[in-house]
């Protein structure tokens, strides 16, 4: 039996086993995202600043109810990271900031960097509804959330935090990559099967909307025995976090074992706003996943993990940087944004 056939059979087995889960229904709607027209708040976990928490809350109606989205994104030293997202309704239920979060959908993108690509579950969604009770107190330009350790934090408006980003140096360019990557990471948790063999379901391309604006379209081409399969995520004016927009393609070219490289050039745009409502200068630039055409710098992946090469980042009219994929973010985004 050839190696290609053995790999193909292993992938078929993984997909069959995966079909035993709650997403076996072929007709299931993949994207159930609700737009949230409101403010994006961001906090660093007080105990571990490599975890960032993003809370997007709309403008409450006369009953004190509005859509919300919450994401926890971990940026550890390993090549993998965990993303956890909740979506539902935010309801103010009393005085002193008492609030009930009616969770309708929860998403998990687990850190499976130590798991073989064919054995990974990938991103998944749970539609079991439940309530979370928190206290949310607004004051001095901060939103302090208590009552749930998973959501607790001192949040600041993301658009104001973006005002701490510079443009001139390599450090600034590295920070720009981390800020751009935040919204892309939150979106990946909603792409059912992302990170595992379930990605092959996108042989029929699917569109997902951004929580704040825009959309992305994910597609897969190849076969179970191809030496090169292509997965492309095309972002279009995409905002999963307010004030950070990304556009362009991000592609992965890999065999069925998850070994290959990445390519594509994306653009980013940050729109900071001062506390008094004055817009700051928009920061724009590019992220090149293909190493700006230099083979030695192209982003390499093995078993689905980025292990070599660089993200090549350039701020328009400013600094440039080559960001390695398999080390802790440097500088950490919490420091780039001067989060409390």
Q: Looking at the DSSP assignment, which residues form a beta bridge with residue 72?
A: 53, 84
CB of 337 within 8 A of CB of 42? yes
Above pLDDT 70, what percent of the chain?
Answer: 88
Give Cβ neighbours of residue 243 (< 8 Å, ≥ 6 apart). Answer: 40, 158, 159, 162, 270, 271, 272, 273
What is the band of 63 on the pLDDT scale with cuts at 50, 70, 90?
A: confident
d(CA 125, CA 120): 15
Quote the pLDDT of residue 3.
35
Domain ranges of the chain: 3-336
Kindly write down the DSSP assignment for every residue of 177-244, as one continuous string: HHHHHHHHHHHHTTSTTTTSGGGGGGGS-EEEE-SSEEEEEEEEE--TT-S-EEEEEEEEEEEEETTE
| Position 85 confidence tier, pLDDT thresholds 50, 70, 90 | very high
User: pLDDT tens digits, residue range 173-223?
Assistant: 999 999 999 999 999 999 999 999 999 999 999 999 999 999 999 999 987
DSSP letters, 150-187, are: TT-EEEEEHHHHGGG--SSSHHHHHHHHHHHHHHHHHH
What is d(CA 189, CA 221) in angstroms, rounded to the nearest whole number?
21
Mean pLDDT, residues 35-62: 91
Helix/strand/coil for 295? helix
Work out the average pLDDT over 78-87.
81
79 and 326 Cβ atoms separated by less than 8 Å: yes
Q: Summarize pLDDT for 244-301 with one digit per residue, the tens.
A: 999 999 999 999 888 999 999 999 999 999 999 999 999 999 999 987 666 667 889 9
Is pLDDT at 28 greater than 50 in this prediction?
yes
117-148 residue pLDDT tens? 889 999 999 999 999 999 999 999 999 999 99
Question: Mean pLDDT across the stretch 211-239?
Answer: 92
pLDDT at 21 over 60: no
**Mean pLDDT score, 306-318:** 94
Strand 153-157 and strand 320-323: the pairing is unpaired
């Amino acid at each position: 039996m050839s190696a290609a056939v053995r790999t193909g059979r292993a992938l078929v087995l993984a997909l069959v086993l995966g079909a035993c889960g709650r997403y076996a229904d072929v007709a299931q709607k993949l994207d159930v995202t609700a737009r949230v027209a409101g403010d994006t708040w961001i906090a660093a976990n007080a105990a571990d600043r490599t975890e960032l928490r993003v809370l997007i809350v709309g403008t409450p109606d006369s009953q004190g109810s509005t859509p919300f989205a919450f994401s926890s994104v971990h940026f550890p030293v390993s090549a993998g990271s965990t993303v956890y997202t909740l979506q539902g309704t935010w309801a103010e239920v009393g005085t002193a900031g008492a609030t009930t979060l009616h969770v309708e959908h929860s998403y998990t993108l687990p850190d499976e960097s130590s798991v073989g690509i064919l054995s990974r579950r990938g991103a998944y969604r749970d539609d079991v509804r439940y309530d979370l009770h928190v206290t949310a107190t607004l004051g001095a330009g901060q939103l302090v959330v208590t009552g749930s350790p998973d959501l607790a934090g001192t949040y600041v408006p993301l658009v104001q935090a973006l005002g701490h980003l510079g443009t001139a140096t390599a450090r600034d360019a590295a920070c720009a990559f981390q800020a751009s990557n935040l919204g892309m990471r939150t979106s990946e948790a909603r792409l059912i099967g992302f990170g595992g063999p379930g990605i092959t379901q996108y042989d029929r391309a699917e569109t997902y909307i951004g929580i704040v604006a825009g959309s992305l379209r994910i597609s897969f081409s190849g076969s179970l025995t191809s030496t090169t399969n292509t997965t492309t995520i095309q972002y279009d004016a995409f905002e999963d976090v307010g004030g950070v927009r990304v556009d362009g393609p991000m592609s992965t070219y890999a065999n069925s074992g998850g070994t290959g490289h990445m390519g594509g050039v994306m653009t980013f745009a940050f729109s900071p706003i001062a506390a008094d409502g004055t817009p700051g200068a928009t920061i724009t630039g590019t992220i090149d996943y293909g190493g700006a055409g230099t083979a030695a710098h192209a982003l390499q992946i093995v078993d689905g993990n980025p292990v070599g090469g660089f993200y090549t980042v350039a701020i328009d009219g400013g600094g440039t940087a080559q960001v390695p994929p398999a080390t802790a973010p440097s500088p950490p985004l919490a420091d780039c944004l001067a989060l409390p």
